[in-house]
Amino acid sequence: MRAKKSLVAKYAALGPVELQEATRQFDEEMVVDRSQPLNARERRLWEKARRKPGRPKRGAGVKVISVSVERGLLGRSDQLAKALGLSRAALIERGLKAVLAEVGKKTGSESARRPIGGR
């Protein structure tokens, strides 16, 4: 099965006269009278294109929090995160998971042992 010809390739293959004829509509001024409201499919596509990409969803999503950390500890953790090639948030996430796993082993707590977000 042949792949579809791209729009660029389609126009690149045209001669000068054919190209001028194919693109004649773009020489006209924009006429608002010919426009019409978007249908449901076009509206969805427009909204999707307009949205900012955002962050990928992980697990049940994320919650931004504010935490107070002693400056020396924060500095040391930032150095470690940099050495490991992680973000501060990723290092903290790893630490929380490790503590929860350890507590789960000691207490037999299923909720503490359960992996969060499948990780």
Cα gap 55→77, rounded to integer Å: 24
Q: How confident is the model at residue 119 (pLDDT cuts 50, 70, 90)?
A: very low
Angle at 64 between CA 63 and CA 68, to 5 degrees: 125
- For position 88, what pLDDT does the model report? 95
Residue 116 has pLDDT above 70, yes or no: no
Cα gap 90→81, rounded to integer Å: 8
CA distances from 70 to 3, 39, 76, 80, 84 (A): 59, 55, 10, 15, 21
pLDDT digits (tens, 9 = 90+) for 12-35: 999 999 999 988 888 888 777 778
- For position 23, what pLDDT does the model report? 87
Q: Torsions phi, psi of 85, nearest 5?
A: 70, 35
